[in-house]
């Protein structure tokens, strides 16, 4: 199977709402691929800026739904109705793809039962504390956790910012569902439930713009953590039957809750009770263990010093993550108070 | 673990165990003639990363042991014998493993529960269909 021929059976869809500042770079990075796709469609979700004009000028076909769909999944589904190729790739409007991204990612779908594949993610800008914290999170996840999940053929999630799908199966599944705040996780777990496979291809790299300040980070983390809990509620009974995935989710969920309780309450309470700051060491005691895989990957990418100086930001972001995970757990699982309003991270 | 999911390290133990399984699985694959160099290169890299993490954890423990004066530990735990320190260290070391074992066991119990409950629901449905007929 020639990759150049197969890429001509690929449509890339880009949902965009007020993305005039970034969508041009996204489209250009796709046009300049080593294996360009057949078509690039930008779904302008009734933006109030000139997203549509910028996308059109960059070389994409632009489609606009009759009214704002309100969610990324809604815009993607609208775009999916225009796709008639064998493969469809979904990319965020603030994400650029490495020159060989399509060439590296697409072959994962040549395997018969594989219906979706995702690549690595590295923040495009790494200036602020939040971007640097996320940079370390991604280096850790895409170097250590996700390749192991992939070995067992169960990546936890086919990331929404850079994934490719078999169109026929995606349409058969009803596209992206709007019932949770994490439509990509919902879709991935639905694939597993139906007996399909998903792959992670570390060599295919994408560069999204990550939240650069607390306000945007807050919105994204709220969406992610509520989305995770909503998916646990929605798919819990199904995924518990899928051996390795059940392990990842159960251990991940409980560990996240134990971590949140430990960092937000246990460490400060013990410090106060024993009047000894030694317990505050809990916040950074695993710094060398985090640094090891991160620096190995950063060295490969020739970003050693940048990663080393970014490690402290990771601990700040982790502390903030703890708050949002706990908040989502109580809201979604304990009080059954579902988050339904989709707020864009940036 | 995943971006946005904080971790204490218990999840990492799950992945360490996964890597041991990967290694054993690849050895079995050699016998079955299903293994290849690409797979071994991947497993080797993950083993190297895991070894570096374990080395970092052991190093941190060693440095902490050196850095924290014994009287600090005594003040907090009330234990001032070598045997007591050893017991405490063992407890700290084994606690994450115990928690992980409990979590995996709970997952299995939940799986069993859901399997039995769906079997029960199906049998009830079957019975009611038969009575309708």
Q: B111 in contact with A at a CB cutoff of 8 Å?
A: yes
- Residues A73-106: tens digit of each pLDDT: 999 999 999 999 999 999 999 999 999 999 999 9
The pair of structure tokens assigned to A139 is 């280096």
> Does residue A328 contact residue A226 with C-beta atoms inside 8 Å?
yes
DSSP E strand boundaries for A57-215: 61-63, 87-91, 95-97, 114-121, 162-166, 197-208
**CA distances from residue A98 to A6, A205, A335 in whole angstroms, order as listed:** 18, 6, 43
Residue whose C-alpha is closest to residue A182's, from A137, A249, A254, A122: A249
Q: Do B107 and A247 touch (CB under 8 A)?
A: yes
Q: Do B53 and A293 touch (CB under 8 A)?
A: yes
Count of pairs with CB atoms under 8 A, one residue in A, one in B: 138
> Does residue B12 contact residue A255 with C-beta atoms inside 8 Å?
no
Q: How many helices (H) and strands (E) does chain B have?
A: 4, 0
Number of other residues whose CB lies within 10 A of the CB of residue B18? 21
- Residues B36-76: tens digit of each pLDDT: 899 999 999 999 999 999 999 888 888 877 777 766 666 66
Residue of chain A whose Cα is closest to the Cα of B76: A274
- Residues A265-309: tens digit of each pLDDT: 999 999 999 888 888 888 988 899 999 999 999 999 999 999 999
Element (H, E) at A201: strand A197-208
**CA distances from residue A280 to A179, A289, A315, B42, B68 in whole angstroms, order as listed:** 40, 17, 12, 37, 13
Residue A235 predicted with pLDDT over 80: yes
> Does residue A312 contact residue A240 with C-beta atoms inside 8 Å?
no
**What residues of B are in contact with residue A289 (Cβ under 8 Å)?**
9, 12, 53, 56-57, 60
Higher pLDDT: B123 or A174? It is: A174
* Per-residue pLDDT, A193: 95
* Per-residue pLDDT, A145: 94
Residue B78 predicted with pLDDT over 80: no
Residue whose C-alpha is closest to residue A160's, from A191, A190, A187: A187
Residue A27 predicted with pLDDT over 90: yes
* Per-residue pLDDT, B79: 60
> Does residue A184 contact residue A160 with C-beta atoms inside 8 Å?
yes
Compute the distance between CA of residue A93 and CA of residue B46 in angstroms, rounded to an integer. 33
Q: B28 in contact with A at a CB cutoff of 8 Å?
A: no
Q: A280 in contact with B at a CB cutoff of 8 Å?
A: no
> Does residue A85 contact residue A167 with C-beta atoms inside 8 Å?
yes
Residue of chain B whose Cα is closest to the Cα of A329: B5
Mean pLDDT is lowest, of A12-21, A39-48, B96-105, for B96-105
| Complex confidence, ipTM | 0.88
* Per-residue pLDDT, A83: 96
Residue whose C-alpha is closest to residue A301's, from A121, A93, A32, A33: A121
> Does residue A267 contact residue A282 with C-beta atoms inside 8 Å?
yes
Residue whose C-alpha is closest to residue B26's, from B38, B39, B17: B39
Determine phi and psi for B39, rounding to 5 degrees. Answer: -65, -40
Compute the distance between CA of residue B47 and CA of residue A293 in angstroms, rounded to an integer. 11
**CA distances from residue A66 to A63, A75, A90, A91 in whole angstroms, order as listed:** 10, 11, 21, 22
The pair of structure tokens assigned to A81 is 């109705």
Instruction: Kindly report the average pLDDT of chain A as a whole number.
Output: 94
Domain A3-212: CATH class, spelled out:
alpha beta
Shortest distance between the Cα of A152 and any Cα of chain B, in A, equals 9
Q: A308 in contact with B at a CB cutoff of 8 Å?
A: no
Query: What's the Rg (C-alpha) of chain A?
Result: 20
What proportion of chain B, given as a percentage, has pLDDT over 90?
Answer: 24
> Does residue A133 contact residue A313 with C-beta atoms inside 8 Å?
yes
Report CA torsion sign: A267, A269, A271, A273: negative
Compute the distance between CA of residue A263 and CA of residue A175 in angstroms, rounded to an integer. 38
Compute the distance between CA of residue B101 and CA of residue A232 in angstroms, rounded to an integer. 21
Residue whose C-alpha is closest to residue A262's, from A319, A328, A329, A331: A319
* Per-residue pLDDT, B19: 94
């Amino acid at each position: 199977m020639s990759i150049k021929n197969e890429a001509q059976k690929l449509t890339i869809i880009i949902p965009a709402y007020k993305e005039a500042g970034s969508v041009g770079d996204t489209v250009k990075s796709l046009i300049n691929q080593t294996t360009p796709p057949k078509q690039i469609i930008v779904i302008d979700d009734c933006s109030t800026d000139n997203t549509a004009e910028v996308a059109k000028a960059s070389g994409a076909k632009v489609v606009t739904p009759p009214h704002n769909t309100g969610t990324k999944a809604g815009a993607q589904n609208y775009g999916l109705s225009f796709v008639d190729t064998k493969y469809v790739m979904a990319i965020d409007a603030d994400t650029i793809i490495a020159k060989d991204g399509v060439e590296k990612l697409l072959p994962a779908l040549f395997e018969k039962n594989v219906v979706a594949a995702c690549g690595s993610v590295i923040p495009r800008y790494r200036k602020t504390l939040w971007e640097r914290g996320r940079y370390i999170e991604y280096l850790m996840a895409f170097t250590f956790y996700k390749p192991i999940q992939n070995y067992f053929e169960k990546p936890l999630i086919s990331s929404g910012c850079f994934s490719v799908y078999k169109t026929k199966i995606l349409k058969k599944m009803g596209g992206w569902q709007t019932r949770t705040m994490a439509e990509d996780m919902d879709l991935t777990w639905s694939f597993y439930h139906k007996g399909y496979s998903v792959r992670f291809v570390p060599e295919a790299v994408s560069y999204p713009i990550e939240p650069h300040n607390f306000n945007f980070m807050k919105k994204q983390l709220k969406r992610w953590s509520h989305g995770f809990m909503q998916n646990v509620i929605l798919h819990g009974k199904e995924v518990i039957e899928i051996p390795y995935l059940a392990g990842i989710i159960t251990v991940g969920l409980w560990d996240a809750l134990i971590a949140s309780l430990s960092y937000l309450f246990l460490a400060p309470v013990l410090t106060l009770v024993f009047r000894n700051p030694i317990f505050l060491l809990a916040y950074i005691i695993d710094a060398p263990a985090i640094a090891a895989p991160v620096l190995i990957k950063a060295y490969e990418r020739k970003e050693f010093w940048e990663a080393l100086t970014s490690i402290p930001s990771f601990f700040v972001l982790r502390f903030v993550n703890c708050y949002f995970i706990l908040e989502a757990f109580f809201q979604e699982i304990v009080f059954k108070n579902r988050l339904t309003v989709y707020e864009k991270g940036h | 673990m995943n971006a946005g999911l904080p971790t204490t390290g218990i999840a990492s133990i799950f992945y360490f165990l996964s890597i041991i399984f990967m290694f054993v699985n690849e050895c079995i694959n050699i016998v079955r003639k299903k293994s290849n160099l690409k797979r071994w290169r991947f497993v080797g890299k993950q083993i190297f990363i895991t070894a570096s993490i374990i080395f970092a954890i052991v190093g941190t423990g060693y440095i902490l042991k050196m850095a924290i004066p014994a009287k600090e530990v005594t003040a907090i735990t009330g234990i001032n014998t070598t045997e007591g320190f050893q017991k405490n260290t063992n407890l700290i070391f084994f606690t994450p493993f115990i928690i992980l074992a409990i979590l995996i066991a709970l997952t299995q119990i939940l799986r069993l529960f859901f399997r039995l409950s769906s079997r029960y629901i199906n049998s009830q449905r079957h019975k009611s269909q038969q009575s309708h007929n």
